Structure 1
Amino acid sequence: MPRVGKPSMVQFSHRSLYFPALFLPTASQALDPPDSACRCPRLAHQVAGFQMAEDSSIDQERHDMTSENERIALTMLSGSFEYDSEDSLTVLLGYLKENAPAVDATLIAYQSEDDNPSLELLEEETDVLLVFTRRLNTDGAELERFKSYCDRGGAVVGIRTASHAYQNWLPFDGEVLGGNYDGHYGSGMTARVEIAEGAREHPILTEVLPFGSHGSLYRNTPISASASLLLTGRTEEHFEPVAWTRTDGGGRVFYTSLGHQKDFWELDFLRLIENAVLWAAASKA
């Protein structure tokens, strides 16, 4: 039976999180959360209630990327079923609620590749669009709303399979994200995620340290010449760009090929996405 009680300090990689001890009798077992934690929406909602351990050294720069009283309307698109995106984004929602209270997030969750929910929010009520979908068959009016948002320079944050978000608009990867997706290497190897040369001072990397990613490396070399590399991923045999920024039509764009289910248990990954949302939102001014 899951055990819900007083939040416990649990170690994830080299960083620490507070989160309710939901399913683990000992802290040491939390190093490798069971796969069921990624597939159970109820559990994901509970896990989303974790809080960061207090750290007086946290740099306030990432919270200063937007003014104190400014609200950010974040629309999140979930539809990457291979990576349980709805559960993972639920964890992210809980994290943002605790750590980025200026963000008002709305999650639009596709239920199948052929689902066609309304994207009307993209017309007027979205400051930042977060995309975590995979090869959806969306077409017609809703795909046009998505394209129109990008065409007018809307701010975009893309996660992992966003590089092939919509089967009927695969050029989104190169034209908007600045990527060059060409499949991926084999799974089963943890990639070491490191800060790219010259990128350490970028606000998206504030309080983000190198960490291990649990998904296969995507082949993206070379990325667009207009992109600025932030993070690289390395295994024993391969080396690839894994996070970068660019501007598209005046709007700020961030993309990361990371986003495996277990990446959402890494504090540094969650901070990376939080910082990316705040950075992208600055373009709305």
Structure 2
Amino acid sequence: MFQPWLATLLIWIPTLVTAGDPAETPWISLKPENHNGKHIVFVTGDEEYRSEEGMPQLAKILSKHHGFHCTVLFSIDAENGCIDPGVLDNIPGLKALDDADLLVLFTRFRNLPDEQMKHIADFVESGKPVIGLRTSTHAFDIPNDRKYHRWSFRNDQWKDGFGRQIMGETWIAHHGGHGWQSTSGIIPADMKQHPIVRGINDGEIWDPSDVYTVRLPLPDGCIPVVMGRVLSGMNPEDGPCEPEERDGKTFDKNNPIMPLAWVRELKGSSGKTQRVFSTTMGASQAFTREGSRRLLVQACYWCLGMEEKIDGKGNVSIVGKFKPTSFGFNSHTKNVRPKDLLD
């Protein structure tokens, strides 16, 4: 006799399947039954903010609740097949970008071999949309004798590399107190109707990591949609930090307030108008907050030109197990393989 619980299981299984044997593929591929025809590739690899935790959860949400085919790639230890963000030169599976519609990048100082880097460069230069999170302002650090050196975070070939040229900023500094002043998202009055922030109120976006410094004004075409309020502590309920005395002068970290997320539309060599969403938030624990998840999900829709589908009420609930760990160096969960993240 067919059991009702089996029907439920059969409905769930197609939303989280891998391409081939999950034990043999060092990435995860989420193919929903209700596929909307779009493919999003997440490229992770940072040593501090647990992109290997946060990005798979966003991919699950986008796949299960919204019908996107999502592929998530990781920095992999080639010897044991485990995720290791300390491995700077190996992100298997980047060929997935060849047929992707959107790149979501969350890397830090990667030094990828030319054959891997080529897929990223080809995608970005094609004019297809890009989302960059947190350390993607300094996504690459490639030696100057290598083909893709110009993508590095500080160089003179392509001024300040991918971060400045595509995202709108490279690595500058920590603006908030690193590890003791968290971030709250504030939506500018003139942006409250922007599709990316529909359904999100001030304070609903939160990140335990601090606000980054960016140079003001941002490059032409960059439009801030969320500002980053520096909080006095590490809880979402904490108030704004108090002004400080520096060299006999009062310094207020919230005046001017730094952009936390912005959009831009670039005209590149492909002739296409490329949509870019950049945010300096991204610690995995940020995505325990509905507002933080909604911001990224709706950014994907906007980047793909699907903003008419954004009503601010889309399902962004957690899928499966999600217990993100605190940000920090040398503290990623060890001995985790990509297939382990399918639970």
User: Is the TM value for this pair above 0.5?
Assistant: yes
Give the whole-Å Cα distance in 2 for the aligned partners of 1:154 and 1:178.
16
1:227 alignment counterpart: 222
Query: Please, which runs of 5 or more residues in structure 2 have no aligned partner?
Result: 1-33, 77-86, 143-150, 154-160, 231-240, 242-251, 307-343
**RMSD of the alignment, in Å?**
1.8
Cα 1:118–1:69 shift into 2, 3 Å: closer
1:61 alignment counterpart: none
Q: 2:96 aligned with 1:121, yes or no? A: yes
Q: 1:277 aligns with which of 272, 287, 300?
A: 300
User: Secondary structure at the residue paired with 2:48?
Assistant: helix
TM-superposed deviation, 1:193 = 1.2
Letter in 1 for 2:259: P
Matches of residues 80-95 of structure 1 in structure 2 within 5 Å? 80-95=46-61
Give the whole-Å Cα distance in 1 for the aligned partners of 2:91 and 2:36.
31
The answer to whether the Cα contact below 8 Å between 1:183 and 1:218 also exists between their aligned partners in 2 is: yes
Query: Please, which runs of 5 or more residues in structure 1 have no aligned partner?
Result: 1-67
TM-superposed deviation, 1:69 = 7.6
Letter in 2 for 1:220: V
User: Secondary structure at the residue paired with 2:42?
Assistant: strand
TM-superposed deviation, 1:230 = 0.4
Letter in 2 for 1:194: I
TM-superposed deviation, 1:116 = 4.1
Instruction: Tell me the alpha carbon deviations over residues 235-263 of structure 1, each in whole angstroms, 9 at most, x when there is no partner.
Output: 22322111001112311110110111221
2:199 alignment counterpart: 207
Q: 2:259 aligns with which of 241, 248, 266?
A: 241
The answer to whether the Cα contact below 8 Å between 1:164 and 1:173 also exists between their aligned partners in 2 is: yes
Cα 1:97–1:152 shift into 2, 3 Å: closer
User: Secondary structure at the residue paired with 2:56?
Assistant: helix
Give the whole-Å Cα distance in 2 for the aligned partners of 1:139 and 1:196.
41
Paired residues, number? 214
The answer to whether the Cα contact below 8 Å between 1:221 and 1:241 also exists between their aligned partners in 2 is: no
Q: TM-score, normalised by structure 2?
A: 0.59
Q: 1:74 aligns with which of 22, 40, 63?
A: 40
2:162 alignment counterpart: 172
User: Secondary structure at the residue paired with 2:71?
Assistant: strand
Q: 2:182 aligned with 1:217, yes or no? A: no
User: Secondary structure at the residue paired with 2:136?
Assistant: helix
The answer to whether the Cα contact below 8 Å between 2:138 and 2:163 also exists between their aligned partners in 1 is: yes
Letter in 1 for 2:223: S
Determine which structure has the larger strand proportion and give its number: 1
Q: 2:286 aligns with which of 263, 266, 269?
A: 263
Cα 1:196–1:180 shift into 2, 3 Å: farther
Q: 2:74 aligned with 1:109, yes or no? A: yes
